Amino acid sequence: MLYSPRMLAGLWAGKTAIWLNRRIGHGGTSFPGGLGRRIAPGLLSALAAQLKQGAMVITGTNGKTTTSKMLAEMIAASKLTLTHNRAGANLVGGITAAFIESASIGGSIGSDLGVIEVDEATIPQLVREVRPRGVVVTNFFRDQLDRFGELDKTVTLVEEALALLPPQSVAILNADDPLVASIGRRYRGRVLYFGIDDRSYGSREMTQSAETRFCRLCGHPLAYDWFFFGQLGHYRCVHCGFERPQPKIRVSAIELKGEEGSAFTVNAPQGNWRVELSTPGFYNIYNALAATAAALRLDLPEPSIRAGLQGYRTNFGRMERLELDDGRRAFLALIKNPTGCDEVLRTLTQNRGPKRLLVIINDNAADGRDISWLWDADFEALAPVLPELRSISTSGLRGEDMALRLHYAGVPADAISYEPDISHAIAAALEMTSPEETLYILPTYTALLESKTALANLGHSPRYWEE
């Protein structure tokens, strides 16, 4: 409950803004929170302090949204209530808006737990305001260079945020990413590592671009016994002795099932259990593992963790499966940096059969103004499936740049079509897709929001703020 007139004014202004945005059919996930904070700067702290069992924060370059939603499913399976920025608005305005929406008109937060996905540059401020029980760090890759700068700056920001955690909090870190694990070597609080032991996927040689080949602690080259993707793998530094920490939460016996998802065994101090995950993509096993580690830290029971993962259905553009009419299939997969895009392309090429491809590139502020990452992403990986691609099209503010990139990746120019209007491009791609084909729609972040709106207008998806 809020007793300060100023806090209540901020809360009511935010609630009014949310209501108005929904009335005009706009998600508006950040503006209401920004408005509330302008009136009452301490609003988020006042609301978050009411969570009965505290909050878990998820950050990192890729996998934040999926990991937080998997964790939310596990909490729901435990019959606990939660406050969660589900729409993926992960700056402080969007997070505040989620708490405003969750609060009663009197400013009471009745939730047991908070699950907060947060942008890497925002996490120091969030930790100061929310003081979470734990922080999950998924991975670090180049992303929005015009906003974050070099990757080391991003790693340093997260490292500084962890130093602000209360003594009882825990850092939950990806042992397979040397950039993430290096934070654990310096962090003075409690650390819980997660990682993949199974080497049935990946290779002994680096086949993708990696963000680092050097030890962040001493600057000497890292030696790898195994690569999964990017710089994630089993590594060690022969100079200073830094090596992949032995994770307590592990995955083994991985079985990839194409578009149908995957199966794997979770190994934890609490026991071992088999999981069937319907979300395609090897990288989503990492997300499931991160969510499992966070859930165990929150003392959720194993049946709820397993039920949450197996009941999880991908949504909001993270390899989201769209069930169309006449048995047609479509996947909506966000791309926003080279490594994330490479993993989406890898999943696409592993799923054989006739398919269509629509890539939508925007360069709005939330996407990052710099789209040079398109030239670092491995679109050449499409070569083996070019005979299966019945159509290739691009759209968005930088759709013409994307068409040029595809041409340099080996796609004939006359095989690429360009439609600047996103809703028209999606409608045309859906119209062309026949029952035996799969349509893959690959948008950047703001293009994803426009795509979701277009798909909702066509009756193929709920509006993104309703998921």
C-alpha span between 429 and 425 (Å, rounded) = 6
Contact 119, 154 (CB under 8 A): no
Q: Pairing mode, if any, of strands 262-268 and 134-137?
A: unpaired
Residue pair 11/100 in contact (Cβ under 8 Å)? The answer is: yes
Could you tell me how many residues make up the chain?
467
Q: Which of 362, 373, 375 is nearest to 442 (CA)?
A: 362
Tokens of 108: 């009471």
The CA-CA-CA angle for residues 61, 174, 445, to 5°, reads 15
**The two three-digit tokens of residue 172, written as one number:** 């939950």
Q: Nearest to residue 112, comparing CAs of 273, 304, 269, 288?
A: 304
| Number of neighbours of residue 1 by Cβ within 10 angstroms | 12
Contacts 24+ apart (CB under 8 A), 21-27: 22/465, 25/463, 27/87, 27/449, 27/463, 27/464, 27/465
Q: How many CB atoms lie within 10 A of CB 101?
A: 19
Stretch (H or E) spanning 439: strand 438-443
For residue 376, indicate whether it is catalytic. no
- Residue 218 marked as a ligand binder: yes
Which residue is associated with the tokens 């041409």?
A: 407
Structural contact between residues 339 and 208, judged by C-beta atoms closer than 8 angstroms: yes
3-state secondary structure of 121: coil
- Six-digit token string for 326: 């006449």
**What is the C-alpha to C-alpha distance for residues 357 and 189, in angstroms, rounded to an integer?**
46
Catalytic residue among 146, 152, 225, 370: 370
- Please return the burial class of 252, using the count of CB atoms within 10 Å of its CB with bins 0-12, 13-18 and 19+: middle
Class of residue 48 by CB neighbours under 10 A (exposed 0-12, middle 13-18, buried 19+): buried
Q: What token pair was written down for 457?
A: 């207008």
Determine if residue 341 is labeled as part of a ligand binding site: no
How far is residue 79's CA from residue 112's CA, in Å, rounded to a whole number? 10
Q: What one-character DSSP code corresponds to residue 104?
A: -
Please tell me whether residue 332 adopts helix, strand or coil conformation.
strand
Closest CA to 183 of 195, 193, 196, 198: 193
DSSP 377: S
Residues catalogued as catalytic: 370
- Summarize the annotated binding site for Zn(2+) as residue ranges: 215, 218, 237, 240
